Chains A and B, each alone.
Chain A
Amino acid sequence: MDEQLKRTIFETMSEVFETMFFTFLEPVSALPSEGSVGENLEYIEGKISFMCDTEGGVSIYFPRGLAQFITVNFLGFEEEEVTERQILDTVRETVNMSVGSLLGKIDPEGVCNLQIPEAKTVVDFSANLLLSEPGLCLFNTEFGYLWVVYKGN
């Protein structure tokens, strides 16, 4: 992946998480090797596509603990008050904000059209599969890795 784009993704994600959720992300510069990343965490996938000349998209894999934590911060509720629906909604909105903000930077002419975001619990999360993605950006959080996979055009 182009280094400038990677830096822009890191900056954009950090801005969203710090501004909206008071949560700091630590970019991982050297990807871990296959097999060294535990796969026992439960993940929630948020994804959104965008149409430019061709279709692109971004998938973000949130450790469940992180998704719950940002939902609590976002709504200002107690942890036990937060519902599954609100967690998925927060993941959708985070993906929407992150990718919308990213497109604002890499597509200043507004050629690309953002689609509607989706979110679901991942039943077959595979870190090894994601490590082979060319558009992977990885963040370290206190809840585990946050995986961002960019598929652009």
Chain B
Amino acid sequence: MAFTILVADDSETMRTVIKKTVKMSGVPVAEFYEADNGKEALAVLEKSWVDVILTDINMPEMGGVELLKAISQDDVYKQIPVIFITTESSQARMDEAARLGVAGYVKKPFLPETIKKILIDVLEKAYEHRMEEGLSMPGTDEDEEMDF
């Protein structure tokens, strides 16, 4: 029932904040995996199934766009929804991400409520049955503030 989530960001601090935000969102999490860049994220996927990927774009070695391209070319991995959490906020970047099939886009700086809303929307679309099977997420009201 709970979801496995991969967080890819070259900032360990940002990964910590994102994990904390997801935990506060009420989405049930079975396990978090972490990656420092796209290459590490792909290495995680080789060993473990993940339900959703939250990734930065601007990372050394392999960025989020290259990661999304690699995932979309794999018959198994392409089922995994990818959400960009990134400073890259120009319309051109967002259009490119949409063309590549990104499931969600969160601009940094972000409010915790924004990640919560987009993550829940994406999970509901991708895993409708699992979400209906007893996922009780407190406070899915978009306007509700989350306290850390």
Contacts and interface: CB of A to CB of B under 8 A. Distances in A.
A114 B88 contact: yes
B14 A110 contact: no
A3 B107 CA distance: 26
Interface stretch (A15-23, A32-40, A129-137, A138-146): A15-23
Interface string A86-114: 10011011001101110110011111001
Nearest to A111: B92
A74 B13 contact: yes
A75 interface: yes
A104 B95 CA distance: 13
B58 A75 contact: no
Contacts of B93: 104, 110
A75 B87 CA distance: 19
Interface residues of B, number: 26
A96 B58 contact: yes
Contact of B109 (A20, A85, A107): A20
A76 B89 contact: no
B12 interface: yes
Contacts of A59: none
Interface in B79-133: 86-93, 96, 107-111
Contact of A75 (B13, B59, B108): B13
B13 A110 contact: no
A77 B37 CA distance: 25
Contacts of B91: 108-110
A108 B93 CA distance: 9
Contact of B87 (A71, A76, A85, A114): A114
Contacts of A90: 13
Interface of B: 10-14, 16-17, 20, 58-60, 86-93, 96, 107-111, 148
Given A19-B109, A97-B87, 14 more contacts: A74-B13, A76-B148, A86-B12, A89-B11, A89-B13, A89-B14, A92-B11, A93-B11, A97-B109, A100-B58, A100-B87, A101-B87, A101-B107, A104-B90
Interface of A: 15-16, 19-20, 71, 74-76, 85-86, 89-90, 92-93, 96-97, 99-101, 103-104, 107-111, 114, 116
The 3 A-B pairs with the shortest beta carbon distances in the complex, nearest first, are A100-B87, A110-B92, A104-B89
